[in-house]
Amino acid sequence: MQAVILAAGESTRFWPLNHRHKSLFKIMGSSLICHLIEGLNNSGVKEVIVVQCPKRDIERELKTCPLPNIKIKYAIQKKPLGTGDAILRAEKLIKGQFFALNAERIDCRDYLKLILEKSRKGKGGAVLLSFPTETPWQCGVFKIKGDRVLDIVEKPKKGKEPGNLINAGAYLLPNDFLGFLKKVPSHPYSLIAALLKYANEKGLKTVELKKETFCLKYPWNLFEMNEYLSKNLKTKINGKVEKNCHIKGPVVIEQGTMVKSGSYIEGPVYIGKNCQIGPNCFIRPFTSIGDNCLIGQAVEVKNSIIEDGSKISHLNYVADSIIGEKCNLGAGTILANLRFDGKSIHSKVKGKLVDTQRQKFGAVLGKGVKTGINVSIMPGVLIGSNSIIGPHSLVRENIKDNEIFYTKLQKISRK
Please, which residues have CB within 8 angstroms of residue 364's CB and are 6 or more apart in sequence? 16, 17, 219, 220, 321, 322, 324, 347, 381, 382, 383
Q: How confident is the model at residue 409 (pLDDT cuts 50, 70, 90)?
A: low
Of 409, 407, 345, 357, give the one whose Cα is nearest residue 382: 345
> Are 254 and 234 in contact, with CB atoms under 8 Å apart?
no
Evaluate if residue 57 carries a pLDDT over 60.
Answer: yes
Task: Give the pLDDT mean for 397-402.
Answer: 96
Task: Give the pLDDT mean for 34-40.
Answer: 92
Residues 75, 192: Cα–Cα separation, whole Å = 21
Active-site positions read 314
pTM: 0.91
Domains of the chain: 2-217 (3.90.550.10), 225-405 (2.160.10.10)
pLDDT at 413: 47
Residue-wise pLDDT for 341-399, tens only, equals: 989 999 999 999 999 999 999 999 999 999 999 999 999 999 999 999 999 999 999 99
State CA 291 to chain mean position distance: 18
Residue-wise pLDDT for 328-344, tens only, equals: 999 999 999 999 998 99
State CA 9 to chain mean position distance: 14
pLDDT at 81: 82
Of 29, 61, 64, 65, give the one whose Cα is nearest residue 256: 29
